[in-house]
Amino acid sequence: MNRRHLLQGGLIAAGALSATGTALAADVAQPRAGARPMRRIATEEAWSIPEHMEAMTALAQQPSDNLDLVSRRGVTTGGARYANLLDTERRLAEMDALDIDMQVLSLTSPGVQMLRVDRANAMATLANDRLAALIARHPKRFAGLASFAPQDPAAAAREMDRAVNQLGLSGFIVNSHTDNRYLDEPFFWPILEAAEALQRPIYIHPRAPADTMAKPFRDYGMHAAIWGFQAETGTHAMRLILSGVFDRFPRLQIILGHMGESIPYNLWRADHWFNERRPDQRSSLAPSAIFRRNFTITTSGVEDALTLRYCIDLLGADRVMWAIDYPYQAMAPAVTAMNTAPVTEAQRALLFHGNAERVFHIPPLV
């Protein structure tokens, strides 16, 4: 029995609390005697550096009704989420306790996309350098998605190339809209071209609705994860699907969290109306065909067995990856949900690690 198994057993037996204040789940599956547990790679895990947190805190303190800044004001310097974004040792201790082998880290939303262009480029470079250094210290525990500044597509493409070919990062993170604009616009195509050429995916991560669609989301807390995040990010993805972008970049791969930001449940209807108005469509392929070919979804923030079963049946187990959404979601329930999900063991292996290894070019265990 290795250190991780001893630590897990001791913490659970003692009823220890996680770093987020959640009791470590007693029903997390224990490793079989003499067997190594199935590898677990969590694929949407937020992280930050002090310089980024300070820049975003300063932005949030400005008088503004921008919904991202409204959300940001909830991540205070004294709060647990703020600390957990920065504290690698705390993160690793909880990963050890729950037998989480690896997390794929990315700069927390909204990344650098609200900063001035020059500052955004510099912050992305700094964050990518720090992320690569962290991975170098813990190569079996962390992989990373590179940040870039979509405000400057040419510089973004250069940073994407550096991130993969010099820093060894595994893909890219973009936090939905930038200056209320979306990646289907030709202005951003150098970014899509770079991702396709580098054979690395772009994870489109949520942020609050753009100013152009914000008004209905200002009430009832609707701007955040309860509805606004998925409405915004799902809209972004549907713009890409319907725009013809995937005819121009057929090998481009996109990742969506939160079980696909509701798109899987609307694919039949999208296909129906796409075919009803086929002469007016810019894409040569129906939405479901593009989604199955060019998109992978993750389970981040959705620990629901019925939803998982539906997405696997619709898309195939090779298009779904496990994720936690730490520190915005607790680790233990996400582990328990996947341990007990109504899937075959072969499917569980794909969800827990096989798909992540393939999509992010993470070497498999030997």
**Other Cβ atoms closer than 10 A to 6:** 11
| Interacting residues of 260 by C-beta distance below 8 A, sequence separation 6+ | 234, 291, 295, 297, 311, 315
Distances in Å between the alpha carbon of 246 and those of 204, 225, 242, 254, 333? Answer: 15, 28, 9, 10, 36
User: Which helix or strand (DSSP H or E) is residue 59 part of?
Assistant: helix 50-60
Most distant CA pair in the chain: distance in Å? 64
Annotation says 27 is catalytic: no
Which one is catalytic: 68, 152, 184, 325?
A: 325
What are the percentages of helix, strand and coil residues in the chain, rounded to 5? 50, 10, 40
Do 348 and 305 form a contact (C-beta atoms < 8 A)? no
Chain-centre distance for alpha carbon 351 = 15
Q: What is the DSSP string of 304-358?
A: -HHHHHHHHHHH-GGGEE----TTTS-HHHHHHHHHT-SS-HHHHHIIIIIHHHH
Distances in Å between the alpha carbon of 107 and those of 110, 137, 297? Answer: 8, 18, 19
Phi, psi for 178 (deg, rounded to 5): -130, 120
**Residue type (1 letter), 253:** Q
Residue 111 to residue 327: CA distance in whole angstroms: 15
Enumerate the active-site residues: 325
